Structure 1
Amino acid sequence: MESYQPAANMADSLKQKLQLFIACRKLKDLDYISKSDPFVEVYVKHDERSHWVLVGKTETIQNSLDPQFATPIVMDYYFEKNQEIRFEVYDEDPSQKEKQGTHQTNVASLLGAKNQTYYAPLVLDKKSKENRGSIVITTDAVKDSNKSAIISLECSKLKSKKEFFGLVSTNHPFLEIKRCRTRESTLEDIRDAIKVYTSPVLKPTLNPVFNLGEISLDKLCNNDIDLPLLFQVWSYQKSGKHRIYGTVQGSVRQMVDQVGVEHSIIKKQGNPYGTMTFSRFDYIEKPTMVDYLRSGWKISLSVAIDFTASNGELSEPSSLHYIDPNNPAKMTQYEQAIYNIGNILEPYDSDRNFPVFGFGAKPRFCGIEQVSHCFPLNGKENPEVEGVQGILEAYRNAMYGGIGLYGPTNFTPCLQAMANFIKDRVSLCEYNIMLYITDGAITDMDETIEEIVKASHLPMSIIIVGVGTANFSRMEDLDSDGQMLRDKYGNCASRDIVQFVQFNNYSSDVSYLHEDVLREVPGQLVRYMANNGISPNPVAHAQY
């Protein structure tokens, strides 16, 4: 009789996705003139051996000591692991962020709280006893689907509050959507509702029009189209004490059936304060990444490797590029990142030919004595190599071929080269993932942001892996999970295409690296297809 062996996918079978909705109460005011502008970063340790990993952050709410954040934190939950979780609350200032408080617990405690709503005090540090306010975390299991709602609505005849001498107060309306916890919830249960959407603040008007665009159903109603939703209209106040006009309640199912029907906006006392009409409320099921792969699309990998002098002299054991002559099989951090991410992506590409670049060095093996910020790592005109093994071989050949580390750390040339490469192959139905591996801060940040904004219109995603111990705080600016990236000219990215991780957070278990860096790719791919009207149809692809 054979001995029992756990299934290889046992961890996957026990993994589930959670949504964390966060609010804070009575935060300490850290601003002198106005109130604080808080946001929350969430970190998770998958087990005792791993490092803290940033899994998400909320949007920033201006002038509020009692913020309720609409951006959910989506994370993987493993029942069989003791996952620690830390919430760090900051006040956002133009030049820096100031910590307001922190709280650390484990995921099991969040799930075990009454109604899965967890309350806890915030502290500045372990020794401090100062009251810094409290945090409220509401947890829902994600019911996966690929459905979204497309919503447009308009309000009319909003009542404006009159101030001194009969003057009408300035009215800057905005919309919030909250979802109730159960199907039986009513307007009386607003305090327990979870905020899932906040619109931009509009210019003064008593007849606002809100085009919400597309909202995923897992965020809007956790894929329960009969769950009550609260559509609340507010008047923005600089003090943070916004005035509510009122609420319209209805589920997705009800609103889809009542497009064009005029609803009264009701305040808590039952008085109407205007009307709300949904001009569009559709819910649609989008194709998945698998649908596109099945219909002929493939995923391709490209790599850009940092050879700047800040990596350390090649002959020194402290160098991030150091190859131990006594143990040449030992991989550098660069090689480990290539190996772990590349082996996941290689099977998705039928020809397994990947462009590979180096930057920030003198590539003497190419016959070049000047500093280059984008050179083919194989030393040939065509930068493609075969498979992950080809990437690793090109890397080692460069190490042994007399490369001269230099600088600075400019990302733009490799981005431009890859963008041109993709444009020349756009008819081949390839979605490219560009892997940047770097040891330091980007020195051409403005130009890099400009190129990323342009690249958001191309079939590509960008993954940045930071190796070593440098300060990578600016990299988080590129990973625009809270809001779309915008360049210095005001141009906005069409979608979020950047994911940044720090390699040292995975030094105890590198197996988590590829999972965290590739998590957002399927959604980014589908978003590109939707933005360009591409359906998972081989005929449509040929026309495109």
Structure 2
Amino acid sequence: MSDPEMGWVPEPPAMTLGASRVELRVSCHGLLDRDTLTKPHPCVLLKLYSDEQWVEIVSQTKVTKPLLLKNGKTAGKSTITIVAEEVSGTNDYVQLTFRAHKLDNKDLFSKSDPFMEIYKTNGDQSDQLVWRTEVVKNNLNPNWEPFRLSLHSLCSCDVHRPLKFLVYDYDSSGKHDFIGEFTSTFQEMQEGTANPGQEMQWDCINPKYRDKKKNYKSSGTVVLAQCTVEKVHTFLDYIMGGCQISFTVAIDFTASNGDPRSSQSLHCLSPRQPNHYLQALRAVGGICQDYDSDKRFPAFGFGARIPPNFEVSHDFAINFDPENPECEEISGVIASYRRCLPQIQLYGPTNVAPIINRVAGPAQREQSTGQATKYSVLLVLTDGVVSDMAETRAAIVHASRLPMSIIIVGVGNADFSDMRLLDGDDGPLRCPRGVPAARDIVQFVPFRDFKDAAPSALAKCVLAEVPRQVVEYYASQGISPGAPRPCTPATTPSPSP
């Protein structure tokens, strides 16, 4: 048993949309002793070989293999066992508070230093540690700190799964003295604390004392003072509940991109290879349109002189229809981009605030509905330094309080330090007046890091934070997903006669 003050149990990462999450439990037996004076401190490094091998390890629920030395020979009788269990059910969290009364004293010159461990019983009847409380020093009536963990971590979302509670007296040597134990289930814990102020109590039993002592009753009692379930919604819950992700595209047409007639221009329309703007549009837009039910994208340009008067605009529709800037699918955005480019003059400056504020308008109207029906995502493709940095910071801080996210893809080899500042990964973004953003809504990705990678790699990185941002916004507003929509079977169009 390891030191209970070392911290414990990181929560599993959020599940990727459309994927199954699998929990792996690893145990080893008969390991070789590599230390001369102390016992070994083993760790396990799991590697996944991407496409060709090593994938079958989770195709079985339990795999035991011998451990090999570097020379290929077996490491004595050492074995490693990996148990796989698919994570299913809910993402709910539970808040628990325990205390104890009149625990047995295990120390000669002071009182016990109790802590408690909670185990769940797995399908193979093995016990898995899911939580360890802090140590309460010199106290036979400890009040342990409240703690929060996912229902999956506690009982694999099975309210009938047996739970085992063990209480120990802490010893710095690691040889902790056993005080007692009891068992329960999460269903029993919920039922026992269902009413306001209701608590549940168990006798803490030491089987050795129970079997040997005639008048033995218990080694103390443990009380569950709080058991509350917190409903945690997922990105998938909101999507299935009817929330639409509305994508808007904004393209940088400033002169720093270079003359489109030059092969060195970032806007060069070469018949041999799509430019970086087109590559980014296809990679990211192809994924984005799967979240958008009508697959119609408002698409704007900024930093160019546009016909008929060739005045500089920072939020013009690239289809030149200001009343209806939407394009049919990403292919429509690409077609409008190709038609637009020869008709405009690349100019400047790189002002981003106007397009952010334009998208923030519908997002603000959506916010007033108090429902999770439409979340706006602005995709900005740009080549360089922002000219209106103060205004852009203010626009982002304002948008951070709306159902809205901003994705910035940096095209070319310019200095993108301003973009990294907007990303907010190094601390909360603040407007010039010092007001901080309510949440991090900007994701910046330099295209040059992905130009030789598969398009899916860019899309995955660009969209990595959107699910979290969607959930974070609606949770902060106390807005739950709508009722899941019934699935309608896809229909195949009849061939024309």
Name the TM tier (shorter chain).
0.5 to 0.7
Q: 1:384 Cα shift?
A: 1.9
Structure 2: distance between partners of 1:476 and 1:178? 44
Structure 2: distance between partners of 1:115 and 1:78? 21
| CA offset digits 1:171-205 (Å, max 9, x no partner) | xx9x999877657344xx54xx5x7x999xxxxxx
Q: Would you say the 8 A contact 1:465–1:502 is kept in 2?
A: yes
Over 3 Å counting, the alpha-carbon distance change for 1:537 and 1:116 in structure 2 is: same
In structure 2, the partner of 1:505 is: 450
1:462 aligns with 2:406: yes
Structure 2: distance between partners of 1:291 and 1:76? 11
1:386 aligns with 2:297: no
Q: Would you say the 8 A contact 1:153–1:278 is kept in 2?
A: yes
Q: Would you say the 8 A contact 2:379–2:407 is kept in 1?
A: yes
In structure 1, the partner of 2:241 is: 292
* Structure 1 segment 20-419 matched on structure 2, within 5 A: 69-72=10-13, 106=49, 109=54, 112=57, 142-145=86-89, 147-155=90-98, 184-186=125-127, 190=129, 210=146, 212=148, 215=150, 217=151, 222-226=156-160, 252-259=186-193, 260-262=198-200, 275-281=223-229, 288-293=237-242, 297-307=243-253, 311-312=257-258, 314-324=260-270, 327=271, 330-346=273-289, 349=292, 353-359=296-302, 362-365=303-306, 367=309, 374-378=314-318, 381-382=322-323, 384-387=325-328, 388-400=330-342, 401-404=344-347, 406-407=349-350, 411-419=352-360
Over 3 Å counting, the alpha-carbon distance change for 1:211 and 1:448 in structure 2 is: farther
Q: Would you say the 8 A contact 1:246–1:268 is kept in 2?
A: yes
Aligned length: 400
Q: Give RMSD over aligned pairs.
A: 6.2
Over 3 Å counting, the alpha-carbon distance change for 1:266 and 1:331 in structure 2 is: farther
Structure 2: give runs of 5+ residues left out of the alignment: 21-44, 68-79, 103-109, 135-141, 168-173, 208-217, 485-497
Over 3 Å counting, the alpha-carbon distance change for 1:141 and 1:415 in structure 2 is: farther
Percent identity reads 27
Over 3 Å counting, the alpha-carbon distance change for 1:280 and 1:534 in structure 2 is: closer
Bigger CA radius of gyration: 2
Over 3 Å counting, the alpha-carbon distance change for 1:262 and 1:302 in structure 2 is: same
Structure 2: distance between partners of 1:381 and 1:332? 26
Q: 1:390 Cα shift?
A: 4.1
Q: Would you say the 8 A contact 2:254–2:346 is kept in 1?
A: no
Structure 2: distance between partners of 1:471 and 1:246? 63
Q: 1:302 Cα shift?
A: 0.4
| CA offset digits 1:440-474 (Å, max 9, x no partner) | 57788897677556545433343343444567787
Letter of the aligned partner of 2:333 in structure 1? I
Query: What's the TM-score once normalised by structure 2's chain length?
Result: 0.55
Q: Would you say the 8 A contact 1:449–1:485 is kept in 2?
A: no
Query: What's the TM-score once normalised by structure 1's chain length?
Result: 0.52
Structure 2: distance between partners of 1:460 and 1:277? 40
Q: Would you say the 8 A contact 2:422–2:429 is kept in 1?
A: no
Letter of the aligned partner of 1:255 in structure 2? M
Q: Would you say the 8 A contact 1:248–1:276 is kept in 2?
A: no
Q: Would you say the 8 A contact 1:288–1:526 is kept in 2?
A: no
| CA offset digits 1:141-160 (Å, max 9, x no partner) | 64344x2324333355799x
Q: 1:278 Cα shift?
A: 2.1
Over 3 Å counting, the alpha-carbon distance change for 1:389 and 1:74 in structure 2 is: closer
In structure 2, the partner of 1:542 is: none
Return the match for 2:380 from 416, 432, 436: 436
| Structure with greater strand percent | 1
Structure 2: distance between partners of 1:335 and 1:348? 20
